[in-house]
């Protein structure tokens, strides 16, 4: 039996699904863990029903009163709905009876019995287990959808339609619904039935081709950037969908997918090929069009320095006590520096290796040049700016788990509302 995992405030059969829960229990639907790091809005029909906090309330959040039915699992979808939850939406996460989201089993590490991976993308949520292969479970999903503002899913295209839970099915009972589908490859095309995982999409989209050492093998990014980027696109699309519904009074179907997201994120690399037929390559920590802009090895670690214009390059040379380099005709402009990359980087690398990282950080401070150390996790979470910006670490205990609460990922400044 799965146990409560992310908080004690939310329990099964509470709020929005209080009525359907008893009937569902006999139809293979039972409550899973609750996931809540902030008080949830009251039950009801979402933002449409006027249950948003009264105007002028000091604790109002941008999405207070918005209800989201979340049928997603793994990362892209949960990351999107978690961010919506951070802004005040009430997120109801639907999971498989007995097992739940796949990421509940991803570990170690575990916080008690809960996967830390699962906890990292499922704060601010409530959870219920529903057997969607059972007609009673399908009925319960429809009841929840009818009372929600947003419906998010990441099933293979056509799978939910087979169950009677596709967009056209939900639209009939909830014409107001903002229905968002997250897939690997979209809703149409020759490979849409393939499962979508981050590493596969990163490979197919070309991200792995451009990631890694210049003369090395393709490398996967340290976190699932394709999934996370898709989650952010989804998050923004849902926000836009809610705005459009506000204007038109009608719901809509949003189609997000991993492949399109990552290809869009290729930005200038894709533009270089499409406009100039320049094939991309791996640059390690360096940049194909800006020099210097990379990591340099110091006496005891690394520092990353970027000179985005000629003035910054002169400043870098001054800090490094290399005035002759800034005057060298081979390095006068960025275009010339790109053309003479190897010679210049050799000179700069030799100089950086002569001092410790902290010495260089002190020398660069206050000169208007982008720079920073390559931090490990311990250094990241003890960095003064990170602590100041996100109020980290605020450690919360709730019997079964511990989690870091990030309360300023989205900073909405409004002194009148206290946000």
Catalytic residue IDs? 227
User: From CA 385, how far away is CA 387, in angstroms rounded?
Assistant: 5
- Given a contact cutoff of 8 angstroms between Cβ atoms, the answer to whether 129 and 98 are in contact is yes
Give the residue among 250, 288, 296, 285 at the shortest CA–CA distance from 269.
288
The number of C-alpha atoms within 13 Å of 336 and in the hemisphere containing its C-beta is: 12
User: From CA 63, how far away is CA 37, in angstroms rounded?
Assistant: 15
For residue 315 the two structure tokens come to 């400043």
How many other CB atoms are there within 10 angstroms of residue 283's CB atom?
17
Cis peptide before 292, with omega less than 30 degrees from 0?
yes
Q: How far is CA 39 from CA 134, 151, 313, in A?
A: 32, 21, 50
Looking at residue 383, the DSSP 8-state letter turns out to be -
User: From CA 331, how far away is CA 349, in angstroms rounded?
Assistant: 15
User: From CA 115, how far away is CA 292, in angstroms rounded?
Assistant: 41
């Amino acid at each position: 039996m799965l146990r409560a995992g992310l908080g004690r405030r939310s329990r099964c059969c509470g709020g929005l699904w209080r009525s359907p829960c008893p009937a569902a229990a006999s139809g293979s639907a039972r409550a899973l863990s609750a996931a809540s790091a902030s008080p949830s809005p009251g039950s009801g029909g979402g933002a449409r029903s006027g249950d948003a906090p009264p105007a002028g309330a000091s604790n109002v959040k941008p999405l207070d009163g918005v209800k989201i039915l979340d049928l997603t699992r793994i990362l892209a979808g949960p990351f999107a709905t978690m961010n919506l939850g951070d802004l005040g939406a009430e997120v109801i996460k639907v999971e498989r009876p007995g097992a739940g989201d796949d990421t509940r089993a991803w570990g170690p590490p575990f916080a008690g019995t809960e996967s830390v991976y699962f906890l990292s993308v499922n704060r601010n949520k409530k959870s219920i287990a529903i057997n969607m292969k059972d007609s009673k479970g399908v009925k319960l999903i429809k009841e929840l959808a009818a009372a929600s503002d947003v419906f998010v899913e990441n099933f293979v295209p056509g799978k939910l339609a087979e169950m009677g839970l596709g967009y056209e099915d939900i639209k009939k009972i909830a014409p107001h619904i903002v229905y968002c589908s997250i897939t690997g490859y979209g809703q149409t095309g020759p490979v849409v039935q393939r499962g979508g995982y981050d590493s596969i999409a990163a490979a197919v989209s070309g991200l792995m081709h451009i990631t890694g050492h210049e003369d090395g093998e393709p490398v996967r990014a340290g976190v699932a950037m394709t999934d996370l980027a898709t989650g952010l696109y989804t998050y923004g699309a849902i926000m836009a969908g809610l705005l459009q519904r506000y204007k038109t009074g009608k719901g809509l179907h949003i189609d997000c997918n991993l492949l399109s997201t990552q290809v869009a994120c290729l930005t200038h690399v894709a533009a270089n090929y499409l406009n100039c037929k320049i094939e991309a390559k791996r640059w390690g920590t360096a940049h194909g069009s800006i020099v210097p802009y990379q990591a340099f090895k110091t006496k005891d670690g690394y520092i990353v320095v970027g000179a985005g214009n000629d003035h910054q390059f002169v400043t870098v040379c001054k800090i490094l006590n290399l005035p002759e380099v800034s005057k060298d005709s081979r390095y006068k402009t960025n275009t010339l520096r790109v053309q003479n990359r190897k010679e210049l980087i050799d000179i700069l690398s030799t100089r950086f290796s002569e001092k410790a990282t902290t010495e260089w950080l002190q020398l660069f401070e206050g000169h208007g040049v982008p720079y920073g150390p390559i931090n490990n996790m311990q250094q990241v979470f003890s960095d003064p700016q990170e602590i100041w910006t996100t109020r980290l670490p605020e450690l919360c205990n709730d019997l079964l788990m511990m989690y870091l609460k990030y309360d300023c990922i989205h900073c909405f400044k409004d002194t009148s509302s206290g946000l």
